[in-house]
Amino acid sequence: MLKELSQKGLLNLMYILNVIVRLEYWSESLKQAQSLMLPKQGKTPIDVTSYRPISLLPTISKLLEKFIL
């Protein structure tokens, strides 16, 4: 999605990321992850250990983290 942004969209995103860094304020929506449970192959779906939990963070949050690091 980010690769398909226009030049103007990328510039606006850069302004937003710069403001976040300058103000040192991360909104709650950038901190919240979505948790998904993926079933493992060959396991019974009734057992709790048959699932692999993963957390999906917002793409913009991950991008900002890479810039800071």
Question: pLDDT by residue for the chain (69 residues), tens digit each?
Answer: 888 999 999 999 999 999 999 998 988 988 899 999 999 998 888 888 899 999 999 988 888 888 888
CB 35 within 8 A of CB 54: yes
What total of structural domains would you count in the chain?
Answer: 1
- What range defines the domain where residue 52 resides? 2-68
The model scores a pTM over 0.75: no
Q: What are phi and psi of 37, to 5 degrees?
A: -110, 115
CA 36, 67, 9, 16 torsion-angle sign? positive
Look at residue 51 and give its three-state secondary structure: strand
Q: Are 36 and 54 in contact (CB under 8 A)?
A: yes
